[in-house]
A and B are shown apart, each in its own frame.
Chain A
Amino acid sequence: MFLPRSYNPAMRMVLIKQIYFTAVEIIPLFISMAVLFGSVIIGVVISLATQYSLQSEIGSIIITFVVDEFAPFFTAILIALRSGAAINTEIAVMKVNNELNTLQTYKIDFIDYLFLPRIISGIVSMISLSILFALIMLTSGFLFTLFYMDIDFHTYKYLLLNAIEVKDLIVLLLKSFAFGFFAMIIPIYSGLNTHKSYTAIPISVLNGMVKLFIAIFFIEVSSLLIQSL
């Protein structure tokens, strides 16, 4: 990963395509989901906070809920479902068709050519989409605070800026990094372990996705535990 020779023109092209498939192509669906679900959930959180007279804590509640937890988690689920499954299938098909052996025959390092661009694109896409998701949710949060609590934009901005800490940004980046890494490495590993028959491909995808979802929940729970220490 850190060797310049890994970044040849072929690898760079795969990386660009992967970022396009993982982070760019998904944007319309992603924004719709973020607006739809993000708005509803942030609305529920704000109305509950109001109900329990936690208005003074609304800034830190929004920041913790959106930046630390929901944005990276939701992004991870969406990327796992879309790109994780696709990558698992792709690698499994390549394994069954002996394409990986062909690459080896031509002395093409398939870790550099196939896996590295997917892992980098997973990490880059997960971080950027988590940030986008958080921004959309924070915007929805403003609309709800405006209606529920009659808070204007400047007060809302001030509330958030007062509540946000460097720790929140570090948590967002680290969690997104971990989610992005595992959302790619587990499907790749599962695809590589496919038996050489076409009927083994759906089993490989099924196993890979189950492992990936366990990993996502494990990272989420671990991060909650670490933050609560």
Chain B
Amino acid sequence: MVENIALIQEVHQNKSIDESEALALEMLTKISLETIAYKRIPECTIEEIFFVMYIRALMMDIPKIYIKVPYAITENFKDIQSIIDAMELLKNDKSVMILDLLSNEVHYKGCGCNIIK
């Protein structure tokens, strides 16, 4: 997973492999996912893969990150607040928008984010 995340910095920022992998490991450690650093996709849970994708998006030179229907990935996703808490730990200057269906509204009850209908 570290290689997977580091690739973005290597390609877009021309950073060395060591430097990019150290940064990727640092990001995973922030959300206590350092145990998956050297695992392959089939060895990871859906939630872990989601965070790897999220960290990769954070590495991109883009102002906004859109997460489209996260509950379409799996119904076994933890409650949205724990996901948002993890995102807070990784926070940087990018704004994050979650686009979801009204039918999934129940998952967002009590969450600290702004809900726009």
Contact = CB atoms under 8 A, between A and B. Distances in A.
A113 B56 CA distance: 17
Given A106-B8, A113-B11, A10 B60 contact: no
A8 B8 contact: no
Interface in A135-150: none
B16 A9 contact: yes
Contacts, number: 28
Interface residues on chain B, size class: 10 to 19
Interface in B12-51: 12, 14-17, 20
A161 interface: no
The secondary structure that dominates the B interface is helix
Interface residues on chain A, size class: 10 to 19
A9 B12 contact: no
A11 B56 CA distance: 18
A9 B8 contact: no
A8 B10 CA distance: 7
B22 to A, nearest CB: 13
Contacts of A13: 10, 17
B2 interface: no
A13 B6 CA distance: 12
Given A106-B8, A108-B11, A9 B60 contact: no
Contacts of B1: none
A221 B26 CA distance: 56
A106 B60 contact: yes
A10 B17 contact: yes
B75 to A, nearest CB: 21
Nearest to A7: B14
A9 B10 contact: yes
B90 to A, nearest CB: 17
Contacts of A106: 7-8, 56, 60
B11 A8 contact: yes
Interface string B79-110: 00000000000000000000000000000000
B1 to A, nearest CB: 14
A107 B20 contact: no
10 contacts: A8-B14, A9-B20, A10-B10, A10-B17, A13-B10, A106-B7, A107-B60, A108-B8, A108-B11, A113-B11
